[in-house]
């Protein structure tokens, strides 16, 4: 029973190996990944990603920075600016006050 199962496993693993280069499918690369012929074929299979890529490309051509792109890009960038500048000025004023009290 054990001999049969190991033999069956080894023979099934041998059948799963990558085919020879002569019979290799031209739409697959050496790792088994799928290669699309053109952008239209890629867009046919992944329409959501194609739309996001198209929108990103248009925004880059319009010179909109990556950190400003997206649904909440401007809000996030404004929030980051406020937090960074507030932290800087707080540290500056608190440091000046602290140095005056240590004299």
Q: What is the pLDDT of residues 2-34, one digit of tens each?
A: 556 666 666 665 555 555 555 555 677 778 787
Asked if residue 75 has pLDDT above 70, the reply is yes
pTM of the predicted protein model = 0.48
Q: Could you tell me if residue 14 is inside a domain?
A: no
| Residue 16 counted as domain residue | no
Question: Residue 28 forms beta bridges with which residues?
Answer: 34
Task: Work out the average pLDDT over 52-79.
Answer: 91
Domain with 47, as residue range(s), is 37-69
Residue 89 falls inside a structural domain: yes
Question: Distance between CA 64 and CA 57 in Å, rounded?
Answer: 10
- Take residue 33 and report the two structure tokens written for it: 């990944």
Number of domains observed in the structure of the chain: 2
In a domain, 51, yes or no: yes
pLDDT at 7: 63
94 confidence band (pLDDT: 50, 70, 90): very high
């Amino acid at each position: 029973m054990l001999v049969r199962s190991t033999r069956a496993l080894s023979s099934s693993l041998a059948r799963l190996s990558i085919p020879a280069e002569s019979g290799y499918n031209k739409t697959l690369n050496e790792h088994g990944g799928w290669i699309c012929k053109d952008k239209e074929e890629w867009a046919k299979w992944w329409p959501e990603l194609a739309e996001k890529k198209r929108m990103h490309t248009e925004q880059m051509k319009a010179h909109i920075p990556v950190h400003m792109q997206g649904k909440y890009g401007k809000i996030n960038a404004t929030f980051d600016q406020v937090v960074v500048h507030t932290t800087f000025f707080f540290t500056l004023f608190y440091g000046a006050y602290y140095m005056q009290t240590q004299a």
